[in-house]
Chains A and B, each alone.
Chain A
Amino acid sequence: MTLFISLVFGGIIWGSAYALVALGVTIVYGMMRVINFSHGDFFMLTAYFMWTFVTLLGMNFFLGAVLALAAALLFGALVERFLIRSLVDAPIINSALLTMGISAVMQNAVILLWDPQQKNIATPFNPNSYQWGPIAITQNQMFILITTAAAIIGFNLILKRTRLGKAIRATFQDRDVAALNGINTKWIYSLTFNLGISMACIGGILLGPTFTVYPTMGAAATLKSMGIVVMGGLGNFTGAIIGGLLLGIVESLAIGYISSGFSNAICFAAVILVLSIKPYGILGEKRL
Chain B
Amino acid sequence: MYDNEKSANPTFAERIFRVYDTVNAYFRKHYLIGLMLAVGCFAVVPLVVESRYVLHLFVICFIWMIGNSALNLVLGFRGCNCLAGSALMGVGAYASALLSLRLGWSFWWAFPGAVVISGLFGLALGLIVGRFAPVAVITGTMAFRTICEVTAINWVDLTNGPMALSGIQSPSIGFLGIDRFSRSMYFYFTLLVVCFIMLMIYRIARSPFGRTFMCIKENLELAQSIGVHRYKFDVIAFTILGFLVGVAGVCYAHYITVMSPEFLGSTYMNQMTTMVLAGGRGTLAGPLIGTFVFTMLPEILRATSELQEILYGAAAIAVILWLPYGIVSLPQVLRSKLISERKKDKKEAS
The chain A residues found within 8 Å of chain B, CB to CB, are 29, 35, 83, 86-87, 90, 92-94, 96-98, 100-105, 107-109, 111-112, 219, 223, 226-227, 229-230, 234, 259, 261-262, 264-265, 268-269, 271-272, 275-276, 279-281, 284, 286, 288
| Additional pairs, 4, CB under 8 Å, beyond known A100-B274, A104-B270, A261-B153 | A35-B135, A94-B320, A271-B143, A279-B132
Known: A97-B277, A261-B150, A288-B133. A104 touches B139 (CB 8 A): no
Q: Which residues of A contact B307 (CB under 8 A)?
A: 108, 112
Which residue from A98, A112, A230, A272 sits with its C-beta under 8 Å from B317? A98
The answer to whether B150 and A230 touch across the interface, beta carbons within 8 angstroms, is no
B147 contacts partner chain A, Cβ-Cβ < 8 Å? yes
> Which of A90, A96, A219 gathers the greatest number of chain B CB atoms within 10 Å?
A96
B298 contacts partner chain A, Cβ-Cβ < 8 Å? no
Within 8 A of A (CB), among B135-183: 135-136, 138-140, 142-144, 146-147, 150-151, 153-154
B199 contacts partner chain A, Cβ-Cβ < 8 Å? no
Within 8 A of A (CB), among B83-141: 83, 128, 131-136, 138-140
The answer to whether A279 and B131 touch across the interface, beta carbons within 8 angstroms, is yes
The answer to whether B143 and A227 touch across the interface, beta carbons within 8 angstroms, is yes
Q: Whole-angstrom distance between the alpha carbons of A108 and B140 in the complex?
A: 26
The answer to whether B143 and A268 touch across the interface, beta carbons within 8 angstroms, is yes
Q: Which residues of B contact A100 (CB under 8 A)?
A: 270, 273-274, 313, 316
Q: Mark B241-273, 1 if CB is under 8 A from A, else 0.
A: 000000000000000000000000010001001
Q: Whole-angstrom distance between the alpha carbons of A234 and B137 in the complex?
A: 12
Known: A101-B312, A272-B143. A92 touches B306 (CB 8 A): no
The answer to whether A98 and B320 touch across the interface, beta carbons within 8 angstroms, is yes
A108 CB to nearest B CB, Å:
4
Q: Whole-angstrom distance between the alpha carbons of A29 and B307 in the complex?
A: 30
The answer to whether A219 and B140 touch across the interface, beta carbons within 8 angstroms, is no
Q: Whole-angstrom distance between the alpha carbons of A107 and B313 in the complex?
A: 10
B258 CB to nearest A CB, Å:
22
The answer to whether B135 and A230 touch across the interface, beta carbons within 8 angstroms, is yes
The answer to whether A102 and B313 touch across the interface, beta carbons within 8 angstroms, is yes
The answer to whether B139 and A227 touch across the interface, beta carbons within 8 angstroms, is yes
Known: A104-B310, A226-B138. A259 touches B154 (CB 8 A): yes
The answer to whether B138 and A96 touch across the interface, beta carbons within 8 angstroms, is yes
B69 CB to nearest A CB, Å:
17
The answer to whether B310 and A109 touch across the interface, beta carbons within 8 angstroms, is yes
Q: Whole-angstrom distance between the alpha carbons of A227 and B310 in the complex?
A: 26
Q: Which residues of B contact A284 (CB under 8 A)?
A: 133
B293 contacts partner chain A, Cβ-Cβ < 8 Å? no
B265 CB to nearest A CB, Å:
9
Q: Which residues of B contact A103 (CB under 8 A)?
A: 313
A105 CB to nearest B CB, Å:
4
Q: Which residues of A contact B144 (CB under 8 A)?
A: 268, 272
B207 CB to nearest A CB, Å:
24
The answer to whether A280 and B139 touch across the interface, beta carbons within 8 angstroms, is no
Instruction: Identify the closest chain A residue to B269 (Cβ).
Output: A100
Q: Whole-angstrom distance between the alpha carbons of A102 and B273 in the complex?
A: 14
Known: A101-B312, A101-B320, A105-B314. A92 touches B135 (CB 8 A): yes
A99 CB to nearest B CB, Å:
9
The answer to whether A94 and B324 touch across the interface, beta carbons within 8 angstroms, is yes
Known: A86-B321, A226-B139. A275 touches B150 (CB 8 A): no
Q: Which residues of A contact B274 (CB under 8 A)?
A: 97, 100-101
Which residue from B140, B270, B320 sits with its C-beta under 8 Å from A272? B140
Q: Which residues of B contact A35 (CB under 8 A)?
A: 135, 138
Which residue from A112, A223, A227 sits with its C-beta under 8 Å from B306? A112
Which residue from A86, A101, A223 sits with its C-beta under 8 Å from B146? A223
Q: Whole-angstrom distance between the alpha carbons of A102 and B321 in the complex?
A: 12
Which residue from B138, B277, B306 sits with its C-beta under 8 Å from A108? B306
Q: Which residues of A contact B277 (CB under 8 A)?
A: 93-94, 97
Q: Which residues of B contact A259 (CB under 8 A)?
A: 154
Q: Whole-angstrom distance between the alpha carbons of A269 and B317 in the complex?
A: 31
Q: Mark B60-91, 1 if CB is under 8 A from A, else 0.
A: 00000000000000010000010100000000
The answer to whether A268 and B147 touch across the interface, beta carbons within 8 angstroms, is yes
Which residue from B153, B313, B319 sits with its C-beta under 8 Å from A104? B313
The answer to whether B81 and A92 touch across the interface, beta carbons within 8 angstroms, is yes
Q: Whole-angstrom distance between the alpha carbons of A261 and B315 in the complex?
A: 34
Q: Which residues of A contact B14 (CB under 8 A)?
A: none
Q: Whole-angstrom distance between the alpha carbons of A272 and B139 in the complex?
A: 9
A251 CB to nearest B CB, Å:
12
Q: Which residues of B contact A92 (CB under 8 A)?
A: 81, 134-135, 138
B77 CB to nearest A CB, Å:
13
Q: Which residues of A contact B315 (CB under 8 A)?
A: 101
A94 CB to nearest B CB, Å:
5
Which residue from B136, B142, B150, B309 sits with its C-beta under 8 Å from A281? B136
Q: Which residues of A contact B321 (CB under 8 A)?
A: 83, 86, 98
The answer to whether A83 and B317 touch across the interface, beta carbons within 8 angstroms, is yes
Q: Which residues of A contact B81 (CB under 8 A)?
A: 92-93, 96
The 4 nearest A-B residue pairs measured at CB: A104-B313, A101-B316, A268-B143, A105-B313
A88 CB to nearest B CB, Å:
13
